A and B are shown apart, each in its own frame.
Chain A
Amino acid sequence: DIVLTQSPATLSVTPGDSVSLSCRASQSISNNLHWYQQKSHESPRLLIKYASQSISGIPSRFSGSGSGTDFTLSINSVETEDFGMYFCQQSNSWPWTFGGGTKLEIK
């Protein structure tokens, strides 16, 4: 199975900061990497598909980059509503797998 390793595990930031979250795959997955946000007691929400493709209704401050094994989710000027968990997921090889998550918290 493809292992996705997310870092850091926790990121403490102040609203207005810009941040980058990392997702590294155990083998090349091309651009078959998707990002989700999950707030406490809610279902995950798709933010970015295929590494960098935007999703309708998602604020433009969220962007993605990367290919192969290294991927980044960037949030330009974090807002209070952005705090929560972030997961990456690969759809290159069965079984589809998720990263362990990065918790974005208020400093």
Chain B
Amino acid sequence: EVQLQQSGPELVKPGASVKISCKTSGYTFTEYTMHWVKQSHGKSLEWIGGINPNNGGTSYNQKFKGKATLTVDKSSSTAYMELRSLTSEDSAVYYCARGGDYGQAWFAYWGQGTLVTVSA
């Protein structure tokens, strides 16, 4: 069974950074692109970017370049997303989502989401 288990909720101060993890199981980690999606206010979804765990290659939504950095640890089949220079606009739920076969960008498997709250 494919599972994506994300790290717990974060309360961070403005200007700080946070690193969210997404630990996977049930499939070969290096065979599927891992994507990250932001959901603000329980409504709209935004694609942040994706990473190829096999070679570390990344693609980012221009809107999130400089804000998000995607990495992986192949030894633990875990993907990470670091968000920096946080503001209130970054308060949201962040999901990791596994891409489809052969790099296709539909998302059949999602993590449970990580709530990031930016507040002093």
List residues of A whose CB falls within 8 A of some B CB: 34, 36, 40, 43-46, 49-50, 55, 85, 87, 89, 91, 94-98, 100-101
Interface of chain B, main secondary structure:
loop
9 tightest A-B CB contacts, nearest first: A91-B105, A95-B61, A43-B110, A98-B45, A96-B47, A34-B106, A46-B108, A49-B106, A96-B105
Asked whether any CB of chain A lies closer than 8 Å to the CB of B73, the reply is no
A95 with B100, Cβ < 8 A, contacts A49-B106, A100-B44 known: no
CB distance from B38 to the nearest CB of A (A): 10
The interface size bin for chain B is: 20 to 34
A44 with B110, Cβ < 8 A, contacts A95-B47, A95-B62, A101-B44 known: yes
Number of A-B pairs whose CB atoms are under 8 Å? 52
Asked whether any CB of chain A lies closer than 8 Å to the CB of B46, the reply is yes
In the bound assembly, the distance between CA atoms of A94 and B47 in angstroms comes to 10
